[in-house]
Amino acid sequence: MAARKKTLGGSTKPSERLRTAGLRPTRQRCVLADLLFRHGHRHVTAELLHQEAEKAGHAVSLATVYNALHQFTHAGLLQQVIVEPSHSYFDTNTGPHQHFFDEDEGRLTDISADISVSGLPQPPKGTKIQRVDVVVRIRRI
């Protein structure tokens, strides 16, 4: 479980990373940031991160994990990818990129190729397009 350590400041200490993003480095936030960022880019759900925290011996409620993931997202540390209304993934890669969603395994992976989206509509008056998320859903054949 080493490799890809140096990607985008992957070796930054959790408390430093939180402080830089303008978040107070509480113990629980540090625990979650450490689990999220120590192995390079990844996609996690709140449930998965909650399980990892418990497995590592940290008593953190699922609600706390949800709150932290949303706070990290607002602070620019994560990108939220909504696959279904009830199913969000949080992505440590905040750069522009798109995803495959494996419906059989419930797994999100990055698409390495560039995708072009054409025919985007004019956004409603007084708004601008912030970003376009493409989720290509796949199944086993």
For residues 49 and 26, give the distance between their C-alpha atoms in angstroms, rounded to a whole number: 17
Tokens coding 7: 């990607």
Angle at CA 105, nearest 5°, toward 43 and 47? 50
Identity of the residue, 8 or 30, whose beta carbon is nearer to Zn ion in the bound complex: 8
Identity of the residue, 88 or 91, whose beta carbon is nearer to Zn ion in the bound complex: 91
Tokens coding 14: 């959790």
Stretch that binds Zn ion, among 11-19, 90-98, 116-124, 132-140 (CB under 5 A): 90-98
**Residues in contact with Zn ion, shown as a per-residue x/- string from 102 to 121 under the rule CB under 5 A:** --------x-----------
Q: Which of 93, 98, 102, 135 binds Zn ion (CB under 5 A)?
A: 93
**Half-sphere exposure in the Cβ direction for 17 (13 Å, CA):** 22
**What is the smallest separation between the CB atom of 138 and Zn ion, expressed in angstroms?**
15
